[in-house]
Structure 1
Amino acid sequence: MFSFDAALLALDLIGVFFFAVSGSLLAARKRFDVVGSVLLASLVGLGGGVIRDVLINAGPPAVFTNPWYLLPPVLAAGLVFFLFESVQRYTSLLTYFDAGRLALFCMSGALKAINAGLHPVAAVLLGVTTAVGGGVLRDITANEVPQLFDAKDIYALPAFTGAGLTVLVWNLGAFTWATALAIAMLVFAFRILAWRRHWFVPLAVNGWHRQES
C-alpha cells in the first residue's frame, strides 16, 4: 500500500544521503578536515529541505523535529573518510551522487508542496528549489562556481522535468512507488546524459559563444 508520509520520508532521507556524499567528496577534494566534511555534508544534504520548509511555512524544518535526518550526513562523511582512497580515481563519482540526489529531491519537494496545498506551478517551483538549493550552498561554501550557473552544463532542467512529472502523475492519481522510481530514473538519466554529452541551453544573449575550458 502506498503511504504518502512514508514515501516523503524515504525520498528525503535517501536524497539527503546522496547529497551528503557529494558534499563530503567535495570536502575531501578540497582537503577539509573531518569536521568540515560533516558540516559540508550536513549543509548540502539538509539545506534544500530547510529552504523548502521555510518557504511553505511548514513550521520548524524537518531536520529539527526528526533526528533521522541527522544520520545520513554522518554516514556519508564516515563513508568518504574510510573509502575515499579507493574511490578517488573515479572522478565522476561526485556527479553521479549529485544526480541521484537531484532526482530524489525534486520529487520530495514537489510532494511536500502538494501536501501543503500549493497549486501545481508552485509545487514544481518548490521541487526545483529543493533540488538545487543544497548544491548552490555546497558550491558557494567550498568556493566553487555553483553548477546551477555553469553555462557548459545542464543542472536545473532535469529537476524541472522531475518536479513537473511528479505533480502531473500525482494529479492523475497514479503516483506509486513504481512511478516514483520511474521518474527518479528518468531525471538521473537526463542529468548524466546532459553531463556526458555536453548538452547545454542557449546563453543569455543571442550571438554569445561559450568559452572553451
Structure 2
Amino acid sequence: MFHALDIIGTLAFAISGALTAINKKLDLFGVLTIAFVTAVGGGTLRDVLTGSTPVGWMLNLDSVYIILLGFCLSALFWRRLEKLRVSLFLFDTIGLGVFTMIGIEKGLIAGLHPVICVALGTMTACFGGVIRDILCNEIPVLFRKETFYATVCIFGGIVFFALRRTGLNIDIIYAASSALIIIFRLLAVKFKWYLPVLKV
C-alpha cells in the first residue's frame, strides 16, 4: 500500500504541476521542470529535515520515470481536458491526500512523535505545490483563504493516528485517511469552507 500510494501521489502531483505550467503557456522544458519540482519538492524537504540523504528520488529512479509519464500524459492529452482548472484541482487534491500519508509513514519509520509525523505529512503534501505556484508567479494555494489545504492534511493526520488505536489493518487506515483528506477538501471547495481572515 505504501509503495502504491507513492506511485499514485507522484503521478498526480506531476500531472498537477504540468497542467499548471501548460496553463501558464510555458515551453516543454518549463512544463517538465514544474512537473518535477511539484512531485518531489515536498518529499525533498522532508528527507532533508529527517536527515535522509541523498533524498529519495536520487536513490530510486522510479520517481523520475513516473514524473516523465505524468509529463507525457499531460503534454499529449491536455487539449482533451475540457476543464483544465477542474482537472488540475482534482489531481492536486489526490496528491494532497496521498503524500500526507507518505510523509507520516516516513516520520514513523524515523521514530518521531505523532505531532512531528503530522507536520512532516503536511510538508510532504503541500510544499511541492508551494514551489510550483511560486515558480508560476501565483500566490501559493496553501495561503489562499478560498481553499482548505494544509488544514485537511493536519486533520487527516489526526484521523490516521486515531484509527491506529482501533487495531484496523494498516493498509485500510492509510487508504481511509487518504480518502478522507481528498473528500474533505472537495467538500470544502464545493461548499466554500475556509478559515476566517483577520481584518485590518
- TM-score of the aligned structures, taking structure 1 as reference length: 0.89
**Which deviations, in whole Å up to 9, do the C-alpha atoms of 1:81-132 show, x marking residues without a partner?**
1111100434311111010000001111011001001011111111111111
Q: Any stretches of 5+ residues in structure 2 without a counterpart?
A: none
Work out the CA distance in 2 between the residues paired with 1:58 and 1:176: 24
- 1:104 match: 98
Deviation of the 1:141 alpha carbon: 0.7
**Which deviations, in whole Å up to 9, do the C-alpha atoms of 1:15-51 show, x marking residues without a partner?**
1110110000001101111111111100000111101
Work out the CA distance in 2 between the residues paired with 1:183 and 1:82: 32
SS at match of 2:67: helix
Q: 2:36 aligns with which of 37, 42, 63?
A: 42
SS at match of 1:91: helix
Q: Check conservation: 2:78, 2:84, Cα contact below 8 A.
A: no
Deviation of the 1:172 alpha carbon: 5.0
**Which deviations, in whole Å up to 9, do the C-alpha atoms of 1:35-80 show, x marking residues without a partner?**
1111110000011110111111122111000110101211111011
Cα 1:109–1:28 change in 2 (3 A) is: same
After superposition, residues 174-213 of structure 1 pair within 5 angstroms as: 174-203=168-197, 205=198, 208=199
Work out the CA distance in 2 between the residues paired with 1:88 and 1:112: 37
After superposition, residues 5-44 of structure 1 pair within 5 angstroms as: 7-44=1-38
> Are residues 1:165 and 2:165 paired?
no
Q: Any stretches of 5+ residues in structure 1 without a counterpart?
A: 1-6
Q: Which amino acid aligns with 1:199?
A: W
Q: Check conservation: 1:46, 1:134, Cα contact below 8 A.
A: yes
Q: Which amino acid aligns with 2:51?
A: N
User: How well do the aligned residues superpose, as a CA RMSD in angstroms?
Assistant: 1.5
Work out the CA distance in 2 between the residues paired with 1:165 and 1:111: 14
Deviation of the 1:202 alpha carbon: 1.1
Q: Which amino acid aligns with 2:26?
A: F
Q: Which amino acid aligns with 2:101?
A: M
Q: Which amino acid aligns with 2:17?
A: G
Work out the CA distance in 2 between the residues paired with 1:90 and 1:133: 22
SS at match of 2:40: helix
> Are residues 1:144 and 2:138 paired?
yes
> Are residues 1:79 and 2:82 paired?
no
> Are residues 1:59 and 2:56 paired?
no
Deviation of the 1:195 alpha carbon: 1.1
Number of residue pairs matched by the alignment: 200
- 2:116 match: 122
Q: Check conservation: 1:169, 1:175, Cα contact below 8 A.
A: no
Cα 1:56–1:168 change in 2 (3 A) is: farther
